[in-house]
C-alpha cells in the first residue's frame, strides 16, 4: 500500500513540477516585460482603463517597442540617431565599458549572420578521456590568434544544471567532433544532466565510434 501511494506521489510530482516551473518562468518573464507600462501615463495604464491589472499588456507593449525600434533604426535618420546615441555613451567612462561589452556580445549572439552557438561539439574536458558537450562560439581573434599555430576554434562549455555559467576554451578544430544535433537538443541534454537524451539522428560520418575516439 505504501509503495503504491509513493508511486502515485512520484507520478504526480513528475506531472506538476515541470508545469509549476514553466508557469513560474512565464510569470517571471511576463512580470518583467510588464514593467514597460511604467513608461505610459497613469491614465493610460490598464488599472485606469479597465479598473484592474491585466497581465501581458506590458509584454505586448515591449514587443511593439522592440519592433518599432528595429524599424526606425533601419532607415537613414534612425541610423544617424543611433550613431549619435552610441557616440554620447562612449563619452561616459563607466557606461562606455558596460555598453560596449554588452553590445558586442549581443551583436555576436543575436546576429543572423553570426556563428556563435550554432554548433554543438564534443570535446575532451577537463582531462583526456573525459568528454563533454560544448558550443562553438567562433574562432580566436586579436593578438590571441598570433600565438596559436594551426586551426583553432573557440567553445563555451556550460555547467549543469545551470548552463548560464561555464568555461571558455580555445582548442584545435581537429580535437572537437561536430555533433549532428541541434543546439536546443544539446542544451536539454546538458540541463537534464544526461537524462533527456537527444534523438538518434546522427549522420553516418559523425557517428562517434571507439576508433574515432582513439584518433583524438
Instruction: Report whether pLDDT(206) > 50.
Output: no
Give me the sheet containing 176-178, strands edge to edge. Answer: 166-172, 152-158, 131-138, 119-124, 176-178
pLDDT in tens, 119-133: 899 999 999 999 999
pTM recorded for the entire structure: 0.57
If pLDDT is split at 50, 70 and 90, which confidence band does 216 have?
very low
- The 3-class secondary structure across the chain, one letter per residue, is CHHHHHHHHHHHHHHHHHHHHHHHHHHHHHHHHHHHHHHCCHHHCHHHHHCCCCCCHHHHHHHHHHHHHHHHCCCHHHHHHHHHHHHHHCCCHHHHHHHHHHHHHHHHHHCCCCCCCCEEEEEECCCCCCEEEEEEEECCCCCHHHHCCCCEEEEEEECCCCCCCEEEEEEEHHHEEECCCCHHHHHHHHHCCCCCCCCCCCCHHHCCCHHHHHHC
Instruction: Report whether pLDDT(106) > 70.
Output: yes
pLDDT at 179: 92
Domain ranges of the chain: 119-215
pLDDT in tens, 137-193: 888 988 898 899 999 999 999 998 888 889 999 999 999 999 998 888 998 899 888
Give the pLDDT mean for 22-47.
87
If pLDDT is split at 50, 70 and 90, which confidence band does 200 have?
low
pLDDT at 56: 86
119-124 vs 176-178, strand pairing mode: antiparallel
Instruction: Report whether pLDDT(213) > 60.
Output: no
Give the pLDDT mean for 69-74.
84
Query: CB neighbours of 188 closer than 8 A, spacing ≥ 6?
Result: 196, 198
Instruction: Report whether pLDDT(202) > 60.
Output: no
pLDDT, averaged across the chain: 83
CA distance 30 to 32: 5
Instruction: Report whether pLDDT(204) > 50.
Output: no
Amino acid at each position: 500500500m505504501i509503495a503504491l501511494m509513493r508511486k502515485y506521489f512520484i507520478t504526480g510530482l513528475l506531472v506538476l513540477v515541470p508545469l509549476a516551473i514553466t508557469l513560474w518562468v512565464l510569470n517571471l518573464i511576463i512580470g518583467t516585460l510588464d514593467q514597460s507600462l511604467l513608461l505610459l501615463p497613469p491614465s493610460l495604464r490598464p488599472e485606469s482603463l479597465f479598473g484592474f491589472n491585466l497581465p501581458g499588456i506590458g509584454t505586448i507593449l515591449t514587443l511593439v517597442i522592440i519592433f518599432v525600434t528595429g524599424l526606425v533604426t533601419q532607415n537613414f535618420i534612425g541610423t544617424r540617431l543611433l550613431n549619435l546615441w552610441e557616440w554620447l555613451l562612449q563619452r561616459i567612462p563607466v557606461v562606455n565599458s558596460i555598453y560596449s561589452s554588452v553590445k558586442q556580445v549581443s551583436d555576436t549572439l543575436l546576429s543572423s549572420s553570426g556563428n556563435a552557438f550554432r554548433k554543438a561539439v564534443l570535446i575532451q574536458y577537463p582531462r583526456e578521456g573525459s568528454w563533454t558537450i560544448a558550443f562553438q562560439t567562433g574562432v580566436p581573434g586579436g593578438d590571441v590568434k598570433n600565438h596559436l599555430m594551426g586551426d583553432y576554434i573557440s567553445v563555451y562549455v556550460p555547467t549543469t544544471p545551470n548552463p548560464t555559467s561555464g568555461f571558455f576554451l580555445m582548442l584545435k578544430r581537429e580535437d572537437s567532433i561536430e555533433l549532428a544535433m541541434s543546439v536546443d537538443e544539446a542544451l536539454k541534454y546538458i540541463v537534464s544532466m544526461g537524462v533527456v537524451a537527444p534523438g538518434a539522428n546522427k549522420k553516418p560520418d559523425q557517428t562517434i565510434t571507439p576508433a574515432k575516439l582513439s584518433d583524438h
